[in-house]
Structure 1
Amino acid sequence: MNPLTRNMWRDIQKSKGRFIAIILIIMLGVLIFVGVKAAGPSLNDSLNKTVNNKNLSDIQVVSSTGFDQSDLELARKVPGAQVEATKLKYVIGGKDKVAIALYGYNPNSKQNRLIMRSGRLPHNNNEIVLDSRAKTKYGYKLGQQFKFDKDSEMNNRSYKIVGFADSPQYIDNQSRGSTNIADGQVQLFAYIPEAELGLTVGTVLNLHFNSLKKMNTFSDDYKNAVAKKLKLLKHEFRNRASQRTNEVASDALTSLDQQQFLLDKQRSIDVQATNQQQIQLNSARIKILKQAKTTYTWQTREDLAGFSAYGESSDRIAAIANVFPVFFFLIAALITFTTITRMVEEARSEIGTFKALGYTKWEISKNYYYYAISAGVIGAVIGAIIGNETLPRIVLALYKQYITMDWVVGLQWNTILIALFFSLLATLGAAIIVIRKELVEGPAALMRPKSPKSAKKILLERIKPLWNHFSFNRKVSYRNLFRFKSRMFMTIIGIAGGTALILTGFGIQNSIGASGDRQYSEIFDYQAVVKLNDDGSFTKVKNVLKQDKKYRSSTPINSTTAKVMASGKQVNDVNVYTPDSVKDFDKFVHLGTNLDKHSVILSKKTAQLLNVKSGDNIHVNLTGGKKVTLKVGAISENFIGHFLYLSPSLYQQKFDKQVDPNTLLVHLKEQTNKQRKTLANNLLKSGSVMGTSYTHDVLSTVSKMSSSLKPIVLIFILLSGVLSFVVLYNLTNINVSERIRELSTIKVLGFYNNEVTMYIVRENIILTIVGIIVGYGVGNLLTAYILNQAATEQVIFPLTISWLGYLVATLLMIIFTAIVMLVTHKKLQHIDMIGALKSNE
């Protein structure tokens, strides 16, 4: 081993703390960068594997009159379509009388295959496979009997439970969709042999395309490809609805036609009697046509319960990954760069000695390069392995509580290579810059220590009344702070960065939870929305509500949806609210301004997407209505969904008709889950209600979304805290090593150990306080930026950081400073004053 290499190994042994610190900083930076960046792809890849393995349908069509063989043949005309018809009906069953999506099991079916969790698939007519949620939430066990309500119109009512399963159609274990029975919410799905359902034809048409399997199900390419397939399918079915209606009605209409023929014969005998029978026949004919009318509901994977929410959640993590770990990594790289720079500068005399002995610049440089490369590569490799293999699995484990999926965690090579590049840029880059700068000087100059910076007056010295009241030690500390500006800024950046990262961790979770809390406290002041049928009676609904002890008040509105367009942009599914009474409406929805006769109020996110402001015009196309142009009078604060509000007079003026209320906004006292289900069930039984939705359910969903981030946030906070501690410790070590002669001097002059420690620590305390304050500002800015990136088309996350976030960030920085202070104190007690003060001449 040549002297240069031997010297490098001695340097590593003498300063193991610094070498390990560089590795740790790089490792933490790479760990969070690679780990968080890998979480989003792992979520998408895992769900893609699950839906591909189980052949989840790309398109589903639901028909009010079912599908026969002709329908299947039409669907097969779409290129590449694999077509299956499934029998599905919604029934009430179980000991809790809940709504169930009941499917007919066909062993030959290749699409939407079940994921068995225990037991087996049904083999006999009296067997049933239940949703795994039936086991975890309702306590059902294998071998028990599951009974359906007598109104279910099935061959049998009781079935033996032979298995529990998950379904790729219900990836979110918290949501099973809605229906018009029980309390309006589907609680479970189940499968029995399809012959048992009592249905003659399939009610759902499933289409799957093998050509789309390789695409990411959440990608724009996949969505565009499915949209093209759906357009072709709709084209094939353009005339099918009327044909199917006639087919279904034909038998019943044939019987009526025979009655009509007989009636026409009798008309000449008794005109009055035949007229009454004619009225009855006409009524029967209208009823049959209405019942037989075929309507189609077109669905893609985005319409499945929880599917879009999962995609948005994955996008949200990806948005966080594009900002948080990058900032984290930049802090780590900056501190590493500083550490390597200081290390090389400390070795001036050694570099000068080797240069005087005749070693070339490359021979001297390469050992420092090896040192830097070793630290950078070791830190990057360890960080990449730990980050890629742990953080995504933690996220997946968390999501598996709510989502049905297989795990896929692949190595994110692009991210790892980027992290390695920046790690070497921070370590090797620093070494190259400083070495080249140092080697320009001659051996004699290098073997002498650098001349200390000349003292200059600082601003505080010019304020005489204040300066004169400071002690000597304080004056020295303040002078040193401003004398070594690079050290001051690096410490502030390190502390501010750590504080900001911890605050951001809290801010992400707080802000996501705040979207629902603020929507349903500051803006929406109601607890339930009751949607009436087309022929629903408000009187019946009010009577049901008044019988409930928790009912307080309600107001009727017309609620519909619309497409809103402006500036060449369009937002679909905008909720249009027109109150029956503007005065009462203000008690339920707080818009911050009153509805007037000339303009509408538009929600904030909708206005942002359309790029409109107060005074601009928008084009509104109501569902099933005409297209009108409206003026935006105000933009209202809103966090979830798209809303447009207009007064009854403006509605009448623009749409040429009176407001026809179809929805009730309801004030309720606090309810239990059982009370909510009972009220929703009673409202459905009235025959006037299509469904009831509770704000409690929306808040629960948002709360779940916020809670799901807790482990991720905790990881952010812990790693940010570790990074802050390592940074502070490292910078303090650099500070002490750079000023060892200065500290030895004041120790020789008679300063006590505590005074020598405070000589350094006082600066740390001041810089920590400044860093924490700066970190508050940076944390808010960073959180706001991440929330802006994480916002979806439907949701805005208001910047919210709880006092706990500020408290934890502040306390951690104070604790880290105190620990570093103690370590520094011990170190300064054992300074070799004579060795440090020896002349270099």
Structure 2
Amino acid sequence: MKNKTIIISSFRKMTQSSKRFISLLCMALLGVGFYAGISSTSQDMLSTLDSYLDQTQAYDLQIQSTLGLTKADVTSLEKLSDVASVQGIYAKDELIEPVARTTTRQENDETAIAKVIGVPKQLNKITLVKGQLPQKDNEIVVEEAYLKKNKVKIGDSLKMNDPDLTNETYQIVGTVKSPLYFSKVHRGTTSLGDGRIDYFMYVKPSVFKQDMYSAIALTVKGAKQEMTSQTAYLDRISAAKKEVETIKNAQETQRFETVYADYLSPVALASGQVNRDSLPPAKWYITDRQDDTGYKDFVDATKSIAKVGRVFPVVFYVIAVLISLVSMARMVEEDRSEIGTLKALGFSNPAIALKYVLFSLSATLVGGIIGMIIGLNLIPNLIWNIYTTLFVIPKFIVLFQPIYCLTGLAIALICICGGALIAVYRELIYTPSILMRPKAPKAGKRILLEHVPAIWNRFSFSNKIVMRNLFRYKTRAIVTILGIAGCTALILAGFGLKDSITDIVNYQYGNVFKYDKLVSLKANTDDKTLLNVLSENDQVAHTANLSMATKKVSSHGKAYDVTVVVPDDTKTFKQVISLNDINRDKQAVSLNGNQAIVSQKLAKLLKVKEKDTITFKDSRDEIHEVKVGKIVENYIQNYVYLPKATSQAILGEYETNVIAIKLKNKLSAQADQKFDASLMTNQSVASVINSKTTVTMINDTMTSLNLVVLILIVSSAILAFVVMYNLATINISERKREIATLKVLGFYDQETDAYITKENTIFTIVGIILGLVSGVYLCHFIISTCETDTLMFVRHVNTISFVFATALTVSFTLIVNVMTHFSLKKIDMIDALKNIE
């Protein structure tokens, strides 16, 4: 019976203190919703990618060869125990020209470059969007972007001049999506045109006249049952790759002997006209999904979101603890007389505490459940819609993630209900006689300012009261300041994270990389002709010969694949890449001696500093140690710079495979494309990487992450408003008698408002100052948490971000002050001043 009375009383309290109930509900809603939503987004995105790749039977491993691949290679691979299925792939890079349109041809039409692939039967299955798949050799399907950008339609035709294909003209019969090209940004490189692949297209395999495959795709047994990119999946792929490598040498030798059978006959070799070592070898390149840039970008994005989801909610919950503690403490204080009566009637302490636990529990459960529903549906879909600007995957999968929901709700229950228990048990220690009497008001004390007459005497009467009240209600003042500071810090951290993300591209391609083009050379070719052409070009300011290769570098038990850069000449090298010492105010350093220069992120990952050593593995898997000379500025990818002599000592003979070009002036888009196309006509050039294109691709990726940060900023702003409104409501309820007395004494509404709003303003100013300072440190902490192994965010917050964070907090204070005005007008003076004894 007693428990029933307590329960009824608790539900009545919910209606009587509806504002307090709603504020606790909002705290739980924001905390649980944000935690569950942002935490599950990463898993939802990864599950979506995994499901899509599984449904389309996307490759786990892919093999390419310098001399092509044959059915014999497929047969050998099928015999391996770790391999589930194998499929040969026909593909070629082609110049595409639209013809025979149903619409009028545009004057600015340009030839596009496309990867043309044979329609797969088993692996890497394509998804039909519109129309139909090719039924004849003269039919082709394309991606939707080709139709939109080139203003063509299904039914129009395109042209490819290639003697290795059965047809020259193809009719577009449909549009498709491909698991090989779910990234809109990355299409790969080519030796055609300006070196960039613009689109992918599919034709019947019979269109290709070639006997050899361009690549072989294979899936690994058991890999489909594991989540892509996770440890269990990667372990299976690693094991399968090692097994493939066991037949690699034999298949390479067999292919070499077949291709050069005529050159390797005893008669030809005896004549001395043919040198076996001078013939290009048949070399296999075994890659997995991790080697695909688009795939890696997607996985890195999910990791970044997951890391943000582990940091931001912590601050949400800390603020929730403070607010719930103050809110429930005030409610308990208002009910002191009732609590004393219940104790006198024989109710136990746990039974009395049940009333307030039910109050906070109901608010938390209702808010938490609403937060789950909103968070699990709104946040993942919102973030996914942002990433659809970069990735094309047919269907986004939103999963119910019980672990995140229950964890978020459990934390909210501990924070809010725990605050209620602490508040009520602080009062239950007293006897009924003490509780049934009103709590003695806090005694007024002289404050520090009163001892400075020169300042104190200049204050008006109302301002003196305000200053005394600031120090009189210390707990509320501290909680208010901390609440505002926490929210301001969250908002500033969001803006600071945006600044740090946005600026890394400008810093990398402004402070570090000075070149405009990076030209990759074909193997075993003479670069002198190309260098002569570039030296005679009026648009070229500087060129530098470089050797660039991916090597495994290790230290302190950790190993990473990094790009090793070796310049042919240090003088020309300085013109295209700047090495700025991070330990000496980014002073330019020279690449000399026998020491390595390491980029700052790699130094952090390997835990090395100047004069430490790093370890290289050469092509023979022999270990070489090199001392670290300097640690230099770098933001994207990881680099080690070696002097030419040092490189030759540990990695073998130097060979230029890249030429970096710096132009005298920035070119227009059309002139830039023309310059790249002219480079690709040179027989020595394999591909051209345009810095403008690279910057655009990275900026597109960073823009999506910026929009995710915007969600954090909005969530923090909402939290700030809830906190400030809640604290203002507590302040008014705490001082009803005081405010009613002022009204009876004849204070006008504006004077009564100022009595409260001045305090809010002072608290806001102090909270903003503390919040801006702590926000910088919070931003740096989040950045260090969210960085991937290949990114180094800029550690700074722009001045405008401080302005935005301050403006948002001030605007919420003004809104709360307006709402406070109406709350003060509703105070019933007779009810507030009546004797409660």
State the match for 2:86 in structure 1. 83
Aligned match for 2:596, one of 594, 600, 624? 600
Partner of 1:126: 138
User: Is the 8 Å Cα contact of residues 513 and 705 (structure 1) preserved in structure 2?
Assistant: no
Residues 562 and 576 of structure 1 are in contact (CA less than 8 Å); yes or no, is this contact kept in structure 2?
no
What does 1:135-146 align with in structure 2 at a 5 Å threshold?
Answer: 135-146=147-158
CA distance in 2, matches of 1:189, 1:656: 39
Q: Does 1:455 align with 2:467?
A: no
Number of the residue aligned with 1:575: 564
Q: Secondary structure at the match of 1:691?
A: strand
* 1:226 and 2:222 correspond: no
Matched, 1:430 2:419: yes
SS for the counterpart of 1:195 is helix
Say whether 1:519 aligns with 2:508.
yes
Q: Which amino acid aligns with 1:461?
A: E
SS in 2 for 1:169: helix
Residue number in structure 1 paired with 2:107: none
In 2, Cα distance between equivalents of 1:770 and 1:12: 33
Distance 1:55 1:657 in 2: 42
> Is contact 1:597–1:647 with CA below 8 Å preserved after alignment?
yes
The corresponding residue for 2:31 is 29
Question: Is 1:190 equivalent to 2:201 in the alignment?
Answer: yes
Whole-Å Cα distance in 1 between the matches of residues 496 and 818 of structure 2?
Answer: 32
Report the counterpart of residue 228 of structure 2 in structure 1.
217
Q: Residues 626 and 366 (structure 1 numbering): CA distance in 2 closer, same or farther, change over 3 Å?
A: closer
Q: How many residues align?
A: 815
Change beyond 3 A, Cα 1:668–1:321: farther
Q: Does 1:116 align with 2:128?
A: yes
Q: 2:330 aligns with which of 339, 342, 356?
A: 342
Preserved CA contact (<8 Å) 1:349 1:449:
yes
How far apart, in 2, do the equivalents of 1:703 and 1:641 lie? 15
Deviation at 1:657, TM superposition (A): 6.1
Distance 1:557 1:54 in 2: 40
Question: Could you tell me how far apart the structure 2 residues matched to 1:224 and 1:89 are?
Answer: 32
Q: Bigger CA drift: 693-702 or 34-43?
A: 693-702
After TM superposition, the structure 1 = structure 2 runs for residues 755-766 of structure 1, keeping only pairs within 5 Å, are 755-766=751-762
1:774 is the counterpart of 2:785: no
Question: 298, 312, 323: which is aligned to 1:310?
Answer: 298
Offset at residue 64 of structure 1 (A): 2.6
- 1:421 and 1:660 map into 2 onto residues whose CA distance is 60
Q: Higher mean Cα deviation, 208-217 or 243-252?
A: 243-252
Deviation, 1:627, is: 5.3
Task: Give the alignment partner of residue 532 of structure 1, picking from 521, 527, 546.
Answer: 521
Query: Which deviates more from structure 2 when the two are superposed, residues 624-633 or residues 316-325?
Result: 624-633
Structure 2 residue 107 is the aligned partner of structure 1 residue 101: no
Q: Does 1:477 align with 2:466?
A: yes
For residues 814 and 317 of structure 2, what CA distance do their matches in structure 1 show?
Answer: 25
Alignment match, 1:39:
41
State the match for 2:51 in structure 1.
Answer: 49
> What is the letter of the counterpart of residue 110 of structure 1?
Q
Who is 2:585 aligned against?
Answer: none
Find the residue that maps to 2:19 and give its secondary structure. helix
TM-score if structure 2 supplies the norm length? 0.92
Single out whichever of 71-80 and 548-557 deviates more from structure 2. Answer: 548-557
**Which amino acid counterpart does residue 322 of structure 1 have in structure 2?**
R
Code of the aligned partner of 1:368: Y
1:403 Cα shift? Answer: 1.5
Which segment is superposed worse, 485-494 or 360-369? Answer: 360-369
Deviation, structure 1 residue 668: 5.0
SS in structure 1 of the partner of residue 214 of structure 2: strand
Which residue of structure 2 lines up, in the alignment, with residue 565 of structure 1? 554
CA distance in 2, matches of 1:370, 1:476: 38
Alignment of 1:642-653 (within 5 A): 642-648=638-644, 650-651=646-647
Q: Which residue of 2 aligns with 1:246?
A: 257
Distance 1:704 1:554 in 2: 29
For residues 493 and 804 of structure 2, what CA distance do their matches in structure 1 show? 12
TM-superposed deviation, 1:808: 2.1
* Alpha-carbon distance between aligned partners in 2 of 1:510 and 1:384, rounded to the nearest angstrom: 30
Cα deviations across residues 181-205 of structure 1 (Å, max 9, x unaligned)?
2211111222111121111132311
- Contact 1:175–1:187 under 8 Å retained in 2: no
Displacement of 1:341 after TM fit? 2.3
Whichever residue aligns with residue 638 of structure 2, its letter is H
Contact 1:555 1:584 in 2 (8 A): yes
Shift in alpha-carbon separation, 1:202–1:655, aligned structure 2, 3 A: closer
**CA distances 1:260-279 after superposition (whole Å, capped 9, x unpaired):** 69xx9xxxxxxxxxxxxx68
**Aligned equivalents of 2:666, 2:526: Cα separation in 1:** 26
2: distance between equivalents of 1:310 and 1:668? 36
Q: In the aligned structure 2, how far is the partner of 1:345 from the partner of 1:690? A: 78
Alpha-carbon distance in 2 for matches of 1:158, 1:799: 54
Summarize the Cα distance change of 1:295–1:668 in structure 2 as closer, same or farther, 3 Å threshold: farther
Q: Is the 8 A contact 2:127 2:177 kept in 1?
A: yes
Shift of 1:600: 2.9
- Give the residue type in structure 1 aligned to 2:92: K
2:282 is equivalent to residue 294 of structure 1: yes
Distance in 2 (alpha carbons) for counterparts of 1:3 and 1:653: 87
Deviations 1:666-688 (A, max 9, x none): 23532344333322221121112
Instruction: Quote how far apart the aligned CAs of 1:30 are.
Output: 1.4
Q: Secondary structure at the match of 1:769?
A: helix
Question: C-alpha offsets along residues 434-457 of structure 1, whole Å, 9 cap, x if unaligned?
Answer: 223323322221121212233334
Cα distance in 2 between the residues matched to 1:336 and 1:760: 21
Maintained 8 Å contact 2:551/2:564? yes
Aligned to 2:101: none
Q: How does 1:318-329 map to 2 (within 5 A)?
A: 318-329=306-317
Query: How far is the alpha carbon of 1:761 from its aligned partner?
Result: 1.3
Report SS of the residue matched to 1:801.
coil
RMSD between aligned alpha carbons? 2.6
Instruction: Give CA-to-partner distance per residue, 1:694-730, whole Å, 9 cap, x none.
Output: 2222221221122113432332222221211111111
Deviations 1:314-344 (A, max 9, x none): 1011111111123223323432232122212
Residue 188 of structure 2 is matched in structure 1 by 177
1:397 pairs with 2:391: no
CA distance in 1, matches of 2:467, 2:16: 31
Q: Which residue identity is paired with 2:708?
A: I
CA offsets 1:236-256 (integer angstroms, 9 cap, x no match): 2232211211122225656x9
Structure 2 residue corresponding to 1:813, chosen from 778, 802, 809: 809
Amino acid at match of 1:28: L
Shifted more, 637-646 versus 575-584: the winner is 575-584
Given that residues 566 and 644 in structure 2 are in contact (C-alpha distance below 8 angstroms), is that contact kept between their aligned partners in structure 1? no
1 CA distance for matches of 2:663 and 2:12?
A: 76
CA distance in 2 between counterparts of 1:311 and 1:430 reads 39
Residues 143 and 177, structure 2, Cα contact 8 Å, conserved in 1: yes
CA deviation string 1:617-640 (max 9, x = no partner): 223345689754322221111111
Contact 1:530/1:666 (8 A) holds in 2: no
Instruction: Kindly provide the CA deviation profile for residues 331-377 of structure 1, in whole angstroms up to 9, marking residues without a partner as x.
Output: 23432232122212211112223333444444433332222211111
Answer whether contact 1:508 1:787 (CA < 8 A) is retained: yes
Quick one: which of 67, 74, 84 aligns to 1:72?
A: 74
Higher mean C-alpha displacement, 392-401 vs 666-675:
666-675
Q: CA deviation at 1:389?
A: 0.9
| Distance of aligned partners of 1:655 and 1:230 in 2 relative to their CA distance in 1, 3 Å threshold | closer
**Is contact 2:616-2:624 (8 Å) kept?**
yes
Work out whether residues 515 and 660 of structure 2, in 8 Å CA contact, stay in contact via their aligned partners in 1. no
Determine the structure 2 residue equivalent to 1:635. 631
Cα drift, residue 307 of structure 1 = 0.6
How far apart, in 1, do the equivalents of 2:635 and 2:131 lie? 44
Distance 1:633 1:815 in 2: 51
CA distance in 1, matches of 2:509, 2:620: 29
Task: Choose the corresponding residue for 2:343, options 351, 355, 368.
Answer: 355
Tell me the secondary structure at the aligned position of residue 562 of structure 1.
Answer: strand
CA contact (8 A) 2:95 2:113 kept: yes
- C-alpha distance in 1 between matches for 2:718 and 2:293: 40
Gaps of 5+ in 1: 265-277
